[in-house]
Amino acid sequence: MVVALHFIVCIALVAIVLLQAGKGGGMAGIFGGGGSDQIFSAPSGMAFIKKVTVVCAVLFMLTSLTLTLLSSRISMASVINQIQNIPVASSQQPK
């Protein structure tokens, strides 16, 4: 569940960052639009796309931390189980 959400957030974050107009005009400049994209050219459009970018970035960080915590709990449990199953050698010498 978390992995699927993380994958969707990653794809959305990449798409949103590519849609933003930077120094080169963003994706509109690639396709010959010359930076005249009406949705994102207005100041309100830029505020909207920045808010969406921040939301996606926060979701990306939260899902990354969640996946890290889940994987560390799983690996710690397996290490503890392996340590408990190690046989202890006796300190007596055979005669």
Q: Are 41 and 35 in contact (CB under 8 A)?
A: yes
Domain ranges of the chain: 2-61
* pLDDT recorded at residue 49: 87
* pLDDT recorded at residue 4: 94
Which residues of the chain, if any, have pLDDT below 70? 22-45, 74-91, 93-95
pTM: 0.58
Length of the chain: 95
* pLDDT recorded at residue 73: 73
Q: Give every CB contact of residue 53 below 8 A, 6+ residues apart in sequence.
A: 13, 16, 17, 20
* pLDDT recorded at residue 8: 96
* pLDDT recorded at residue 14: 95
